[in-house]
Each structure stands twice: as C-alpha cells, then as structure tokens.
Structure 1
Amino acid sequence: MKWNNALEDYQYYLKLEKGLSENSIDAYSRDIKKLINYLEVNELNVSAIKISHDNIQQFIYTISKKLSARSQARLISGLRNFFDYLVFEDYRTENPTDLLETPKIGRKLPDTLSLEEIDILINSIDLSLPQGERNRTIIETLYSCGLRVSELINLQLSDLFFDEGFIRVIGKGNKQRFVPINEQTKKYINFYVKEIRTHINVQKEFEDTVFLNRRGKKLTRVMIFTIIKNLAIKVGLNKKISPHTFRHSFATHLLERGADLRAIQQMLGHESITTTEIYMHLDKSFLKEVVNTFHPRK
C-alpha cells in the first residue's frame, strides 16, 4: 500500500466513521505528511505497512529539534492514531509507535480575559467603519455564546432562534446544540444583519451565512484570528489571545459566578464532563470562597 493511498483511506475513515470536521482531518493529515516528507527527503523506501519502530523513532528524533514538547506529544499522538487505524483494518499486525515515549508536558491553559479587558477590546473598535459593527458583533458572539471559531464562521441566519432565546450551533462531529443568547448580543446581531449586512453584495451559497467579508463571502478562521490580534495590539493588551480565549473566558466567568459545571458542558458542546473540568482554570481564591460558602462545617 502506497503512503498516499493509506492517507486517503485514513481521511475517509476520519470523516465517515469518526465524523471529524475538515479542520480536524487536516490536522491529523499534517502529521502523516510530515513523516512521508521525511522518508522522501532521506530516500527511505519503506511503506506504511512495513515501516518500523526504528524508522519512526529516528523521524521523531530528527524533527524534535524544531518542536516543543507539546508539539512532539501531539505529533506522536497523531501518528499513533494513524497506525491504530492500519491495525484496525488488518493492514498491519502491530503499531510501530506503541513503544515511543511521549514527552511529559504540563497542562497549558489559555489566558483568560477579565470583563474589563473584554470591554476595552470592544470599545476600541471603530464603529464608523462597516466592518466595525461586524467585528463588535463577532467579539460579543464569541464571548457571550462561548463559540469555537469554526462555529462562529459557519453560523447561519436560519440558526437564530431569537424569539426562543437560543442560537443553534453545529459543533465538532456535526453535532447540534442550542446555546442561550442574551439580549445585548441579540441586539448587536440584529443591528448588523439589518443595517450592515443588507448593503453587502452576498455571493451565491452564502445567502444564509451570518458574518460576511466585504466580498459577500464567509469569513475565514484566519480573518477572525487577525481581527482579534489587531485589537489586542491596538489596546496594548499584554496577553496572547485568540478566538478560543473568549470561549475560555465565557466558561470561566460563568463558573466563577456559580454556574453548574454540567450546564457549562452543554453550552460548550463538550461530550465529556472531564473535558470541561480540564478546560476550566480557577484561581485558589475562588476555590477558597466556594469552600467557605458551601461547606457544611464552615
């Protein structure tokens, strides 16, 4: 079996059997492509069926000089999943990555923004520009609904159930959930849709997409990252932030104000409560306050 054929089969498996998004499939594929490129550069004529533990160990050793421990761990995990698939399909009898040592990494949590920092970012947006109203609405929606960036750019007008107080979100694995939306965010979305979006020449296939670029097409993930990065630079925010920062801040602020962890799990679209627990980042002062408030023997 040629490498490209094995990779193509694996991609179909991830899409059809695992229900992963295109972004996740691309991420898994990049790990395999790095290995394929290494083999080609070093003129190692070994197939996906015949590649050995030693071949992969040497690949990891070579590429590790350019990667952090976290990136190495993620790469090894990606390769392990690929070879697990080959074993599952009976192409191989064993996984050559089983004996690889994964670098030990500490838990890295994203920065959390305070309410004041979020307000500063939003207030720095130039609302005299058409994209200003759009960008304010984007930040408000990311934060107040705790959306992933992919969920935001794929949000449809037909997903807005404002009378019921919810928006419909299509998350990872094409799973659907309904997320509550507050009055302020509804107001911003309504204003953007009725006063700004109506003046855009919407391209075919994007008539139902909420957030559009100036050419009338869906915004890209990169564009959302760029908008947020430029805002952070503009206000001199000394934190590394991304769209995910607003999602993390949304969940953290809710938990700090006493929201139930399982309710947060549902709103974030986490399949496991364990993911939500790891995701949360609480300081010791808040934990102390919880004990002092709720412990029966306080």
Structure 2
Amino acid sequence: MKWNHALKDYQLYLKIERGLSENSLDGYTRDINKLIQYLDENTDASSPINISFEKVQRFIYEASKSIEARSQARLISSLRSFFDYLIFENYRTDNPTDLIESPKLGRKLPDTLAIEDIDTLIQSIDLSKPQGERNRTILETLYSCGLRVTELITLQLSDLFFEEGFIRVIGKGDKQRFVPINQQTQKYIQFYIENIRKLIDVKKGFEDTLFLNRRGKQLTRNMIFTIVKNTAVSAGIKKKISPHTFRHSFATHLLERGADLRAIQQMLGHESITTTEIYMHLDRSHLQNVMEQYHPRS
C-alpha cells in the first residue's frame, strides 16, 4: 500500500465515518504529509504497513526541533489516529506511535476582551463605507452568538429565525444547533440585509449566504481574521486578538453574569462539558463572589 492511497482512504473515513469538518481534515492531512515528506527526503521506502516504531520516533524527534509542544502533541495525535485506522482496516496489527509519549501540556486559557474593549472595537468601525456596516454586523454576530469563524461565514439567510429569537448554526461535524440572538444584533443584521447586501451583485450559488464580499461571494476565513486585525489596530487595542477571541469573550461574560454552564455548552456547541469548563478558570474573583453570595457559611 502506498502512502497517497492510504491517506486518501483515511480522509474519506474521517469525512464520512467521523463527520469531521474540512478544517479538521486539513489538519490531519497536513500532519501525515509531514511524515511522507520526511520519508521522501530521506529516500526511505517504508510504507504505511511496514514503517517501524523507530522510524516514526525519529521523525517526531526531528520535527519537534522546530515546533512547540502543543503542535508536537497534535502531530503525535494525528499519526496515532492514522495508524489506528490502518489497524481498524486490518492493514496493520500494531500502532508505531503507541510507545511515543506526548509532551505534557498545561491547560491553555483562552484570551478574552473586556466588555469595554468590545464596545471600543465596534465603535471604531468606519460606517461611512458599505463594508463598515457589514463588518460591524459581523463582529456583533461573533460576540452576541459565540460563533466559530466557519459557522459565521457559512451562515445562511434561511438560518435566521428572528421571530423565534434564534439562528440555526451548523457546527463541527455538520452538527446543527439553535443559538439565541438578541434584538440589537437582529437589527444590525436586518439593516445590513436591506441596505447593503441587496445592492451586491450576488453570484450564483451564494444567493442564500448571509455575509458576502464585494464580488457577491462568501467571505473567507482569512478575510474575517483580517477584519478583526484591522479593527483592533483602528481601535488601538494592543492585545493580539482573533475572531475566536469574541467567542471566548461571549462565554466568559455570560459565566461572569451567572449563566448556567450547561446552557453555555449548548450555545457554544461543545460536545463535552469539560471543554466548556475551561471558562471556570478565567475569573477567580467571579468564583469568589459566587461562593460569598450562595454558600450558607459565607
């Protein structure tokens, strides 16, 4: 079995059987291609079926010289998953990564913005230009609904249920969830649709896409990152932020105001409550206030 054949089969498995998103598929593919490239550069004829533990270990050791611990752990995880798939398909009887330990990682707390910073960011947008109204609506939607970037750019007009106060979001693995949307954000979206979007020459295939670029097509992930970065510069925000910062801020601010962790989990689309619990570590002063307010011995 050749590497490219095994990789294509694995990609189909991840997409069809496990329902992973394109971004996740790209990540797994990129990591496995690093191993393939390493073997090519070293004229190593090992195949996915017979490559040994020693060769995989050597590759990880070499790769680890130029990547941080978190990337190293992801690389090992990707390879372990790939070889587990080969075992599942009866191509191998062992996993050459089983004896390789991942680096110990501390729990990385997400970056967040204060409410005042979010207000400053949004107020700094130049609304004299059509894209200004669009960009304000984008940031408001990111923050008020806690969306991932891909969820934002794939949002459809048919996903808006304003009378019920919800939007439909297609998350990781094409899983659907309904997220509440406040009236202020609804007004921004409605204004954008009626005054900005309707003036755009919408290209075929994007008639239902909510946020469009000037050419009438769906915005890219990179464009959303650029919008956030440029807005931060205009607002004088020195902190390094990304679109995901709005999602983290959404969860943190809800928690600080007493929202139930399970409700936040549902709105974020986390499969496990453990993923959502990371926000419990962000504001210890908030936890102390909760203790003082609700504990009978306080």
TM-score w.r.t. structure 2 length?
A: 0.98
Residue 123 of structure 1: aligned partner:
123
Q: Does residue 245 of structure 2 align to residue 260 of structure 1?
A: no
Aligned to 2:65, the other structure's residue is in SS state: helix
* 1:68-107 alignment, distance < 5 Å: 68-107=68-107
Residue 168 of structure 1: aligned partner:
168
Residue 109 of structure 1: aligned partner:
109
Residue 244 of structure 1: aligned partner:
244
Aligned to 1:65, the other structure's residue is in SS state: coil
Residue 194 of structure 2: aligned partner:
194
Residue 185 of structure 1: aligned partner:
185
Once the two structures are superposed, residues 189-209 of structure 1 have per-residue CA deviations (whole angstroms, 9 ceiling, x without a partner) of 000000000000000000000
Residue 52 of structure 2: aligned partner:
52
For the residues of structure 2 that align with 1:240 and 1:33, how far apart are their CA atoms? 30
Indicate if the aligned counterparts of 1:70 and 1:105 stay in contact, CA closer than 8 A: yes
For the residues of structure 1 that align with 2:91 and 2:34, how far apart are their CA atoms? 21
Shift of residue 27 of structure 1? 0.8
Identity rate of aligned residues, in percent? Answer: 74
For the residues of structure 2 that align with 1:2 and 1:110, how far apart are their CA atoms? 40
Indicate if the aligned counterparts of 2:170 and 2:176 stay in contact, CA closer than 8 A: yes
Residue 291 of structure 2: aligned partner:
291
Residue 223 of structure 2: aligned partner:
223
Aligned to 2:259, the other structure's residue is in SS state: coil
Residue 6 of structure 1: aligned partner:
6
Kindly report the root-mean-square deviation, in angstroms, between the aligned alpha carbons of the 2 structures.
Answer: 0.9
Residue type of the partner of 1:180?
P
Aligned to 1:177, the other structure's residue is in SS state: strand
Indicate if the aligned counterparts of 2:109 and 2:282 stay in contact, CA closer than 8 A: no
Shift of residue 110 of structure 1? 2.1
Shift of residue 286 of structure 1? 1.0
Indicate if the aligned counterparts of 1:261 and 1:276 stay in contact, CA closer than 8 A: yes
- Unmatched runs of 5 consecutive residues or more in structure 2: none
Residue type of the partner of 1:17?
E
Residue 274 of structure 1: aligned partner:
274
Q: In the superposition, relative to structure 1, how do residues 15 and 290 fare at CA in structure 2: closer, same or farther (>3 Å)?
A: same
- Unmatched runs of 5 consecutive residues or more in structure 1: none
For the residues of structure 2 that align with 1:241 and 1:55, how far apart are their CA atoms? 39
Residue 17 of structure 2: aligned partner:
17
For the residues of structure 2 that align with 1:180 and 1:218, how far apart are their CA atoms? 23
